[in-house]
Structure 1
Amino acid sequence: MADTAAAQEFDILILGAGSGGYAAALRAVQLGLTVGLVEKGKLGGTCLHNGCIPTKALLHTAEVADSARSAGKYGVNATFESIDMGAVNAYKEGIVASKFKGLTGLIKSRGITVIEGAGRLTSSNTVEVDGTSYTGKNIVLATGSYSRTLPGLEIGGKVITSDQALQMDSVPKSAIILGGGVIGCEFASVWESFGVDVTIIEALPSLVPNEDATIVKAFERAFKKRGIKFNTGTRFQSVEQNDDGVTATLEDGKTFKADLMLVAVGRGPATADLGFEEAGVTMDRGFVITNERLHTGVGNIYAVGDIVPGLQLAHRGFQQGIFVAEEIAGLKPVVVEDLNIPKVTYSEPEIASVGYTEKAAKEKLGEDKVLTQEYNLAGNGKSSIIGTGGLVKLVREKDGPIIGVHMIGSRMGEQIGEAQLIVNWEAYPEDVAQLVHAHPTQNEALGEAALAFAGKPLHS
């Protein structure tokens, strides 16, 4: 980190240097504002050190392992022997260290004052860090999130969270994953590729329950084909552990045994005992309540990232951090709704989506006001080359723009950029159909779906 602050008063004082906090800091100094950035851990927060980057490194290792297993199909003489977790961790930690070094250098080069230590909000314009008070004309709360557990479910021993899962030095033979959302499914995907016998337990009726129903069905079929087992629709009751592993019991009496259990039931806001409520900030179950412009209603205090109700995504944090810096500078930035922020589940296959699901669109607009169009990746040349199945689904308002894009297949997350533009710019299928998509690419699948929607299908 940079040297501890010499100055004690700033235009913006930011509590937390994760995705939202450091994005706000970088944009603020670009706008000529002085910035104090308080962080008790490492610059970059959860995403860089315990989330996005290390988990995606593991997912890439899993992809390489799967490629080695299937190499013969492509005429490559190779064999898969085993996973060397020492080497895997060295690779993962090297990526993290490189990104951390780059971020630290960037923060320092921009003249941002980094204040090392545990910060606590003490008034509408002051933060105390290890006994020293710092003042900000504006305060930005960006303290991030932590791995949640269930009431009465203690973490320890063979019951772990993603924090411990990222530090494992060996591959278990079997694992139970409690939670079938993004985190749970990503680890399930990694571990199955590593040779682990995986079972997911999800209380809701399906895996990835926030995605479009068509995508969910395709995803569950793909997981079954890979050999990943899952039990949905029944709540977890208890877990016991001994020298042989863990036994999880559901409310219906079913039991599952494995070497360990990963608790992946979501992330909670890291706001406890930080002085927010005492300063008058409105809270709800630990989350900071703001208006649409991310202001808390108290003094000049703003909040960004995982502590604000809604999607807990690093790129949402980046967007909100930039937004708040520009808001404070008087630039009046455009509000971006969570609905129009892209989501990706980086499993095999990947899910990428933005905008309304078919169900949500019909609930908002009416059953007869929503149209959908699907394009099967079987018709896409590049998808056939890399050996993936899947589909692209577009949701549009009748006689109106595309309001939702939902995709599943290997590497489909790379297509979310155009999908996000389509939805946010309220493009009509006829608009997208005019665009030229390079051949052969998976990106063509978006164009093909739009062509079909516009009444002129090519490869479907």
Structure 2
Amino acid sequence: MSDPNAGYDVVILGGGSGGYASAFRAAELGMTVALIEKDKVGGTCLHRGCIPTKALLHAGEVADTTRDSEDFGVLAEFKGIDMAAVNKYKDGIVAKMYKGLQGLFKANKVDIINGTGKLVGPNTIAVDNGRTVTGKHLVLATGSYSKTLPGLDIDGDRIITSEHALELTELPKKAIVIGGGVIGVEFASAWKSLGVEVEIIEGLPRLVAAEDADTSKQLERAFRKRGIKFHTGKFFEKVEKTASGVQVTIAGGTVVEGDVVLVAVGRGPVTANCGYEDQGVNMDRGFVLTDENLLTNLPNVYAVGDIVPGIQLAHRGFAQGIFVAEHIAGLNPVPIDETGIPRVTFTEPEVASMGLNEDKAKEQYGAENIKTVNYNLAGNGKSNILRTQGFIKLVAVEDGPIVGIHMVGARISEQIGEAELIYNWEGYANDVAQLIHMHPTQNEAIGEAAMALAGKPLHVHD
């Protein structure tokens, strides 16, 4: 461990994905590192987000498979959901990963300082445990929180956030989800699989509106087939508690009733009362502004993760944390291309994407210069085995690289790796088409889509 009185090379405020990635990489590069965290290292992703949510989704997948087991010739009886056992499974995964993460802090000799930190100088953070920690370089990584809207008073009982939803000991009979983005549709999907009636209210014209329009249509089609109701293009007007649950009135006067309301309207940056504005850090609507090297306007003060404007994803935080450590070390890392960050929504079916959607590609390159192909998974053997519907859509510049890959289907997230390589290495359709893709896998659907885009389709279903 380092001598705290001598100061550190790097001091990090926040122990989530971006914070601890920066800590580990800086330590690997020979720097002395302290990380200040008010809760548990691992942040929202490990304890209240990515990991427990995906465990819940997998439990739902098992439930769906059990219900449909006779379709595969397997005789099994579905007896229901034991939420105590589901929570034990979910919490066990989190606990195991948390223990492993704590071991990595020890192995990397990173000092963990427990407490709430506040920026009080360009090189100094005061902690509410009475300590003052100084560093040659500071990394701000305070993460995000579940937002709400006026008229949505979170009580943790009937009006809840995703954090509360992960702690439910009993499933509601019906849940109303306000927000049809990633968090909203993932919980809607998981709950439906676990036997909950679900209704989504989304003010934007379509679900997962940040994705390609064809992706939204496919997910909406799948949700209708599964019996998940949704209202798009309509905002809620008021939420009222009733004797038996909650009542939501949406634009146009439609009233929806349920046992609980999940507020899933996005996440905001945790920057209030952190001392950032007091010290003159440039801010915009609560977010910390940085240059392409993730430096703030204060010398030697960086920011990473959800407090930096952009898509809020754990792996973005990892990448930014590593980048900052290497920048501090003088390794001149390549600045992160935000468009080159993979995106997955773990619904049933899953949604995965890379690069530009069709509309943004047309804006950037001109509609006349963009060509697309939409390969239907009906032509893919493994997708038929999995009994999933969906597609692989490629968006390319005429006589140029593939600039967008959009996928919908069960377990399709496993194909995001090749999609990431195609986009980030500026692959052309002909480049991908000549690669040999393993049969029978869903991965070969990417090859089929590229072959079609290159003008030599093989198994193409309209």
Q: Secondary structure at the match of 1:297?
A: coil
Aligned to 1:120: 118
Give the TM-score, by structure 2 length.
0.98
For residues 221 and 4 of structure 1, what CA distance do their matches in structure 2 show? 56
Q: Are 2:279 and 1:265 equivalent residues in the alignment?
A: no
Aligned to 2:392: 392
CA contact (8 A) 1:119 1:128 kept: yes
Q: Are 2:209 and 1:209 equivalent residues in the alignment?
A: yes
Cα deviation, 1:74-130, whole Å, max 9, x if unaligned, reads 000002111100000000000000000000001111100111111000011000112
Q: Secondary structure at the match of 1:455?
A: coil
Aligned to 1:72: 70
Output aligned runs, 1:2-151, within 5 Å. 6-7=4-5, 9-130=7-128, 131-151=130-150
For residues 238 and 86 of structure 2, what CA distance do their matches in structure 1 show? 32
Q: Secondary structure at the match of 2:316?
A: helix
For residues 297 and 381 of structure 1, what CA distance do their matches in structure 2 show? 53
For residues 307 and 140 of structure 1, what CA distance do their matches in structure 2 show? 11
Output aligned runs, 1:257-296, within 5 Å. 257-296=257-296
- Aligned-pair distance for 1:249? 1.0
For residues 114 and 394 of structure 2, what CA distance do their matches in structure 1 show? 47
For residues 150 and 120 of structure 2, what CA distance do their matches in structure 1 show? 30
Q: Are 2:206 and 1:200 equivalent residues in the alignment?
A: no
Aligned to 2:160: 160
Q: Are 2:443 and 1:443 equivalent residues in the alignment?
A: yes
For residues 389 and 242 of structure 1, what CA distance do their matches in structure 2 show? 39
For residues 21 and 240 of structure 2, what CA distance do their matches in structure 1 show? 43
Q: Secondary structure at the match of 2:105?
A: helix
- Aligned-pair distance for 1:151? 2.2
- Aligned-pair distance for 1:4? 10
Pick closer, same or farther for the CA change 1:5–1:273 going to 2, 3 Å: farther
Runs of 5+ unmatched residues, structure 2: none
For residues 346 and 338 of structure 1, what CA distance do their matches in structure 2 show? 20
CA contact (8 A) 2:350 2:413 kept: yes
Number of residue pairs the alignment of both structures matches: 458
**Which amino acid in structure 2 is aligned with residue 139 of structure 1?**
L
Residue range with higher mean Cα deviation, 248-257 or 156-165: 248-257
- Aligned-pair distance for 1:454? 1.2
- Aligned-pair distance for 1:367? 1.1
Q: Are 2:237 and 1:225 equivalent residues in the alignment?
A: no
For residues 443 and 103 of structure 2, what CA distance do their matches in structure 1 show? 35
- Aligned-pair distance for 1:152? 3.5
Structure 1 consecutive aligned stretches of length 4 or more whose deviation exceeds 6 Å: none
For residues 321 and 65 of structure 1, what CA distance do their matches in structure 2 show? 37
For residues 8 and 392 of structure 1, what CA distance do their matches in structure 2 show? 55
**Which amino acid in structure 1 is aligned with residue 213 of structure 2?**
A
Pick closer, same or farther for the CA change 1:8–1:134 going to 2, 3 Å: farther
- Aligned-pair distance for 1:5? 7.4
**Which amino acid in structure 2 is aligned with residue 149 of structure 1?**
T
CA contact (8 A) 1:5 1:36 kept: no
Aligned to 2:344: 344
Pick closer, same or farther for the CA change 1:38–1:27 going to 2, 3 Å: same
Q: Secondary structure at the match of 2:21?
A: helix
CA contact (8 A) 2:14 2:140 kept: yes
Q: Secondary structure at the match of 1:277?
A: coil
CA contact (8 A) 1:240 1:246 kept: yes
CA contact (8 A) 1:287 1:307 kept: yes
Aligned to 1:371: 371
- Aligned-pair distance for 1:264? 0.3
- Aligned-pair distance for 1:237? 1.4
- Aligned-pair distance for 1:235? 1.2
Aligned to 1:423: 423
- Aligned-pair distance for 1:251? 3.0
Cα deviation, 1:339-364, whole Å, max 9, x if unaligned, reads 11000000000000010100000011
- Aligned-pair distance for 1:8? 5.4
Q: Secondary structure at the match of 2:52?
A: helix
For residues 135 and 439 of structure 2, what CA distance do their matches in structure 1 show? 53
For residues 128 and 356 of structure 1, what CA distance do their matches in structure 2 show? 42
For residues 459 and 250 of structure 1, what CA distance do their matches in structure 2 show? 45
Q: Secondary structure at the match of 1:426?
A: coil
For residues 264 and 7 of structure 1, what CA distance do their matches in structure 2 show? 44
For residues 409 and 402 of structure 1, what CA distance do their matches in structure 2 show? 20
Q: Secondary structure at the match of 1:106?
A: helix
For residues 2 and 259 of structure 2, what CA distance do their matches in structure 1 show? 44
**Which amino acid in structure 1 is aligned with residue 35 of structure 2?**
L
CA contact (8 A) 2:25 2:326 kept: yes
CA contact (8 A) 1:190 1:347 kept: yes
For residues 136 and 253 of structure 1, what CA distance do their matches in structure 2 show? 56
Q: Secondary structure at the match of 2:167?
A: coil
Aligned to 1:250: 250
CA contact (8 A) 1:5 1:115 kept: no
For residues 111 and 386 of structure 2, what CA distance do their matches in structure 1 show? 47
For residues 243 and 32 of structure 2, what CA distance do their matches in structure 1 show? 55
**Which amino acid in structure 2 is aligned with residue 17 of structure 1?**
G
**Which amino acid in structure 1 is aligned with residue 431 of structure 2?**
D
- Aligned-pair distance for 1:51? 0.2
For residues 223 and 146 of structure 2, what CA distance do their matches in structure 1 show? 24
Residue range with higher mean Cα deviation, 81-90 or 246-255: 246-255
CA contact (8 A) 1:8 1:134 kept: no
Aligned to 2:241: 241
For residues 43 and 269 of structure 2, what CA distance do their matches in structure 1 show? 13
For residues 435 and 7 of structure 2, what CA distance do their matches in structure 1 show? 51
